[in-house]
Amino acid sequence: MTTMESLIGLVNRIQRACTVLGDYGGGDGAFSSLWEALPSVAVVGGQSSGKSSVLESIVGRDFLPRGSGIVTRRPLVLQLHKTEEGAPEYAEFLHLPKRRFTDFSAVRKEIQDETDRVTGKTKQISPIPIHLSIYSPNVVNLTLIDLPGLTKVAVEGQPESIVQDIETMVRSYVEKPNCIILAITPANQDIATSDAIKLAREVDPTGDRTFGVLTKLDLMDRGTNALDVLEGRAYRLVHPWVGIVNRSQADINRNVDMIVARRKEREYFATSTDYGHLASKMGSEYLAKLLSKHLESVIRARIPSITSLINKSIDELESELDHLGRPIAVDAGAQLYMILELCRAFDKIFKEHLDGGRPGGDRIYGVFDNQLPAALRKLPFDRHLSVQNVRKVVSEADGYQPHLIAPEQGYRRLIEGSLNYFRGPSEASVDAVHFVLKELVRKSIAETQELKRFPSLQAEIAAAAGQALEKFREDSKKTIIRLVDMESSYLTVDFFRRLPQEVEKGGNQSASNVDRYTEGHFRRIASNVSSYIGMVSETLRSTIPKAVVHCQVREAKHSLLNHFYTQIGKKEAKQLGQLLDEDPALMERRQQCAKRLELYKSARDEIDSVSWAR
């Protein structure tokens, strides 16, 4: 059978681990809060309600700071561990794990000092809890969270918002469905005006989670009693009210031992004419046992949901850590390997864009199938081969000696002038493909999840790829200009041999000389040149895409980062580390995830270590 000690101790250990990792509820929602899933007992009461005295009476030690105004300014997670009879009593703080306190006045001072460390010597409050574990044979296994006392007005030195700040902090604990509310109310105050009961009623209207504690029963006016409250007539709760008699101020001043105070409390109820019949269910010792037993039953009921939350959170954290990537290695060899792996991941995505596995590569085909033909169709051949321009070019080519048969020099000049027009569309095709490749590099970098961690490496890869693409573009332009120049360097002779020559018509020479300068003659020349240019245009329409793909696309696919690989291999460890300058926010996130994952796995192991035999 699972023991009460093992169940409460289990929650104690998980709570301490939560605090170490900064999980104490009320966070920013970045992670599921394990703290908020753990059952706890929150002590709630107004200032001067006797809250501190109840806790000290349960512990059997005088250890809490005292004074006027707000004394408790940080939540105090008080974990009580019952030890064997005769064992020494001592206390430990989570923030001082290697130090044991046997002097409980030193515990009081450390609580005050640790509070001031976070809040300063002001009257500000902080949600960061202090964890205090007390080991004693005079306690029961129990965990209590002492919260700042509710107040109605801000006093000197306190911000105006202090009233609302305290209530917000207290609510963040007690509104959780797994929180047991210990509502402290002084008996010499009207129950209808109790801050603790008012708040408990708002967050727990059914009263299932609320335990009412009535303090200062011995300070009520003579002739009055609190039986209407203790017996549930004035305000009924699901759980019975418990009356407490605290040490008087005179006892506190005389440093009356808490164990003696407990005995006096028992005697008070046993001999009281008003409360004698309730004596067995009154007092701080009974309250501690009642709470311990109830907390154990709540923990037992909550374990399945806590386990489910832990398993779900572990899956989510492991998935996120996979997404964030592994930590950066320290040695240069491992860093170089990591950089090359990241480059290969980018290169793989880039090739997928080109090969059709991802969208974008089809835009290159669009350049060849749409943009290039459209540009070729718009070339101004009509103006270049107009009758007026043909007459001008042919006449200039003839010089002082008119051509005898066919104006060969005129033909050559007209063809060369026409071929020059192909340079523009050819170079535009190179530039268009270059733009597409640059855009695919940008997209591929953005889509390489592993690279998102390293902005400097992204920039280096983008720069290296940009330089390589620029070189490919220059090579491609040289190649396609060479293709155009080749067409100008050697004209296709067979084409012109098939053209009907004027001298073969059988006309006499004088008639031919007359016809040589007519408009019809120049139109025939223009038509012949146009036909030849059309043939060349079809050839270039096929060869330009081949040259561009060979010089740009193929090279980008096979050797985009070759120069970068050469340079990266020469870098020193410091330079490699600078390339892997991960975003600090991502590093912090990974560390948080890793710590939180460690917490959840530890919590799972803790739960598994408890014997759940029924």
- Per-residue pLDDT tens for 445-480? 999 988 888 888 999 999 999 999 999 999 999 999
User: Which of the residue ranges 13-17, 206-210, 362-366, 540-544 would you say has the lowest mean pLDDT?
Assistant: 13-17
pLDDT of residue 248: 75
Residue 327: pLDDT above 80? no
Q: Tell me: the pLDDT tens digits for 577-608? A: 778 877 777 778 888 888 888 888 888 887 88
What would the mean pLDDT of 500-508 be, rounded to a whole number? 47
Residue 531 lies in a domain: yes
What would the mean pLDDT of 414-433 be, rounded to a whole number? 92
pLDDT of residue 184: 94
| Residues 306 and 402 placed together within one structural domain of the fold | no
Q: Tell me: the pLDDT tens digits for 228-243? A: 999 989 888 899 999 9
For the chain, what's the residue count? 614
Long-range interactions of 271-279: CB distance < 8 A, separation 24+: 274/225, 274/227, 275/217, 275/225, 275/227, 275/230, 275/243, 278/230, 278/231, 278/243
| Residues 300 and 344 placed together within one structural domain of the fold | no
**Which residue carries 């974990």 as its tokens?**
79
Rounded to 10°, the helix 4-20/584-609 angle is 170
Residue 356: pLDDT above 80? yes
201 against 250, higher pLDDT: 201
What would the mean pLDDT of 505-534 be, rounded to a whole number? 70
User: Which of the residue ranges 264-278, 351-365, 480-494, 516-530 would you say has the lowest mean pLDDT?
Assistant: 516-530
Give the Cα separation of 564 and 561 in Å (integer).
5
Share of the chain above pLDDT 70, in %: 89
Q: Tell me: the pLDDT tens digits for 153-204? A: 776 667 778 888 889 999 988 998 889 999 999 998 888 888 999 999 999 9
| Residues 249 and 361 placed together within one structural domain of the fold | no
Q: How many domains does the chain have?
A: 2
How big is the CA angle at 135 (ends 96 and 88), to the nearest 5 degrees?
A: 105
What would the mean pLDDT of 348-352 be, rounded to a whole number? 94
| Of the candidates 312, 292, 311, the residue with the CA atom closest to the CA atom of residue 39 | 292
Residue 32: pLDDT above 80? no
Residue 594 lies in a domain: no
Residue 488 lies in a domain: yes
User: Could you give the strand order of the β-sheet that contains 40-45, starting from the edge strand earlier in sequence?
Assistant: 96-101, 90-93, 130-136, 76-82, 142-146, 40-45, 179-186, 210-215, 242-243
pLDDT of residue 30: 56
pLDDT of residue 3: 53
What would the mean pLDDT of 495-523 be, rounded to a whole number? 59
Residue 586 lies in a domain: no
| Residues 302 and 389 placed together within one structural domain of the fold | no
The band of 405, judged by pLDDT with boundaries at 50, 70 and 90, is low
| Residues 315 and 341 placed together within one structural domain of the fold | no
Give the Cα separation of 9 and 16 in Å (integer).
11
Share of the chain above pLDDT 90, in %: 36
Residue 243 lies in a domain: yes
pLDDT of residue 469: 96
Q: What is the mean pLDDT of the chain?
A: 84
| Residues 252 and 353 placed together within one structural domain of the fold | no
| Residues 441 and 570 placed together within one structural domain of the fold | yes
How big is the CA angle at 368 (ends 364 and 373), to the nearest 5 degrees?
A: 150
What would the mean pLDDT of 484-502 be, rounded to a whole number? 75
| Of the candidates 444, 126, 179, 525, the residue with the CA atom closest to the CA atom of residue 515 | 525
Q: Structural domain of residue 213, as residue ranges?
A: 4-24+32-320+602-609
The two structure tokens encoding residue 388: 């007026």
pLDDT of residue 92: 92
| Of the candidates 410, 397, 421, 427, the residue with the CA atom closest to the CA atom of residue 487 | 421
Residue 572 lies in a domain: yes
Residue 592 lies in a domain: no
| Of the candidates 180, 244, 258, the residue with the CA atom closest to the CA atom of residue 216 | 244
| Residues 299 and 348 placed together within one structural domain of the fold | no
CATH of the domain at 272: 3.40.50.300
399 against 42, higher pLDDT: 42
**Which residue carries 């020099």 as its tokens?**
409
CATH of the domain at 396: 1.20.120.1240
| CA 111 distance to own-chain centroid | 35
Residue 286: pLDDT above 80? yes
| Residues 368 and 274 placed together within one structural domain of the fold | no
The band of 500, judged by pLDDT with boundaries at 50, 70 and 90, is low
Q: Tell me: the pLDDT tens digits for 112-165? A: 999 888 887 777 888 888 989 999 998 888 889 999 888 877 766 677 788 888
pLDDT of residue 508: 47
User: Which of the residue ranges 61-70, 369-378, 524-533 would you say has the lowest mean pLDDT?
Assistant: 61-70
pLDDT of residue 511: 45
Total Cβ atoms within 10 A of residue 106: 13
User: Which of the residue ranges 81-95, 174-188, 493-507, 599-613 would you say has the lowest mean pLDDT?
Assistant: 493-507
| Residues 398 and 470 placed together within one structural domain of the fold | yes
| Residues 45 and 192 placed together within one structural domain of the fold | yes
The band of 109, judged by pLDDT with boundaries at 50, 70 and 90, is very high
pLDDT of residue 201: 93
| Residues 302 and 364 placed together within one structural domain of the fold | no
Residue 505: pLDDT above 70? no
1 against 316, higher pLDDT: 316
Residue 372 lies in a domain: yes
Give the Cα separation of 501 and 403 in Å (integer).
13
Query: What's the 3-state SS for 232-300?
Result: CCCCCCCCCCEECCCCCHHHHHCCCCHHHHHHHHHHHHHHCCCCHHHHHHCCHHHHHHHHHHHHHHHHH
| Burial class (CB within 10 angstroms; exposed 0-12, middle 13-18, buried 19+) of 488 | middle
b/e map of 107-139 (b: 16 or more CB within 10 Å)? Answer: bbebbbebbeeeeeeebbbbbebbbbbbbbebb
Most confident of 307-321, 377-391, 539-553: 539-553
pLDDT of residue 396: 81
